[in-house]
A and B are shown apart, each in its own frame.
Chain A
Amino acid sequence: MAKKKPHFSKDLKLAELLAKDRRLLQLLPRFGIELGFGDRCIDEVCRMNNVSADLFLIICGIYSDDDFRPSPAEIQRIDMSGLLSYLKASHRYYLDDRFPHLEEHFQRIIEACGSKYGPMLSHFYDEYKREVMRHIQYYEEEVVFPYIEELHEGKRDNSYKINEFRHNHTNIQDTLDDMMNILLKYLPGDILPKERIEISLDIMELSDDLNRHSLIEDHLLIPYVESLENNLP
């Protein structure tokens, strides 16, 4: 049964919220919330940074509880104007920070594999990168987001519906799982074991983050955009 209320309330101190679930720390830069927030409560910190505290709490709720679903009424009620910039900032974080980091590690492993396994691993990584780019850059940023921005302006484009966007994210995570299986199970044991363990832990964290990102798109973005579609004349 879907829960109706976020677990966290606006008068909770931000520092306490982060102590309850340290993964939420990653969300701060995506909302543009600056560090040095002291003992201020969530509401106050959000106001200082021009962030909707309702939106912040809903995203924290989805992020820290797999079963949490915002109700349609809630989605109607709260100010969602910050949602797109949150999602875009998440994409920037994956593209500009996480994937280059992963790539750096992966490159060292590719080099250590030499001419026997190196080229095919490098090919595997390139394919993966292309998939991520296709998904995030071309699809979301060039199709879905501009579509939503048009809806905001009251324009309707009948050639596209947000429903097509559902189940689009699975591929990236599948390939991440494959990457981990190859690193842990199938590459010969003597090739950079320490590096492989480190990169696998990073992949697990990223995979978890991407999972929650998908939940936010499925349970917040899509219902929100559907309500926009329905409300147009």
Chain B
Amino acid sequence: MKYFHIICTLLFGVAVTLFFGKAYPHHLHYQEQFQLFLFDSSYVWDVVKLPGGVADLLGRFCTQFFLYAWTGAIIIGVLLSLMQILMLRLANWGRLYGLSFLPSCLLWLFLLDENALLGGVWAVLLTLLVSWLYEKLPEGKIRRILLVAIVPVLYWMVGPLCIVFPLLQIRRSELPWNVVTLVLLIVMPIILAHFVPVPASKLWTGIHYHRYPTAIPTLLWGSALSIFALTCIVRSLQRWANASSKHVMPIVLYVLVVACMGTVVWKNCNFKAEKTMRYDFMSCHQQWNRIIETITAEKPNNQIGVTVQNLALAMRGELLTHMFDYNQNGLLGLLPDVERDAISPMPTAEALYQLGMVYAAQRTVFEAQEAILDFQKSARCYKRLAQTNLIIGKYEVARKYLMALQKTFYYCDWANETLQLLGDEEAIARHPEYGRLRKMAYQTDFYFSDHVTPQMLEDLYNSNTENRLAYEYMMAAFALTGDRDSFIKYAPKNR
């Protein structure tokens, strides 16, 4: 039976890892780009000072590794498996062994949402861990005092999900102590509302469980409360659950739970979003060849996909020759209007950047970062803001972003290298990207809103006729708007 449990947990962990690593990797990349984890005491304090801060910090710490999807997938696999192991320790599951996977499966479902934060998973896990450790304490007065003392500490560490801990400790013999802990849980948010700068409702539902400030993560709560419900069920069915039986019943239930939950997970996957995120990821990492391969296999039919497709074609010098082999969306397929959200402007910003419209790219990236719903910053955006400030010669501002990136795990080396460039005009001029983009910049200023016009592309091209990308975009714009005269004017034979 011992090996049976290990094998089942292992199988579950591998399934979760394979799922996120193979089927859902770009959801992990998506998560990573909406945070900036800093190895910095002020940053840590800013996170942990809020209720749920410790779980949030651990979540953010883990999320930084999502830059590499397989690392992220392994982390999630381990966390969900650990949770199941702790569930197993909380009760004698016997025949109902399969049900111990249910909370982990619910968290798996929760994590399908690209805005679900890993801090929520850590909140449940830490609560379970504390509950398990508490179970090991000997009976007595100290145990009871600790019960009351742990609640506020746990509330600070993991937020309102800690309610599971006192619920799990409800005993008929300790009723007064249980009442005290539950009263404490009710009083704390009421008092804290006067001191913590968040809406009072967040103190009841959790501050950093979900990126949307107004969202209540029902699956996360469902997972947490299922821990209590399941242990209640197991305890009440103790005699039946632990009656001697072969492995048949636990195996059947295990297979049933995993199969059912696996189906539910698969049915609830947002593969459409995954595809879109994939395009964004590829453009972010400038994987132009991979983009071409992808669009050749399946033509994109959404805004982000078409934008990235056109950018990749232009980067390969194939926009004019092949653009009509793929879906187009007029001018908006080349350079969509900038929306006020965190994700859709990013591919547009990449195109603006590559074209040499550095100021416009900078604004677009900055605004996208500001639109991150839970007010976090983005390593991806910081990197691009450092680059654009470097290109336009704002070295002190670039330095500021780079020095922040020096405090990160993955971007540190890049920041150190880029810092060497600041103020070194010759090195920047020689740089294949920054030097090129400096040369490609507009020579004359004008006002720009959110809508890129063919005229703007024409001006960009005329600022530097060696700007091949601007030429491709300009001609594509003429073709897409049916401006035959302009197209002929700039056609290769007339150039």
A and B: bona fide binding partners: no
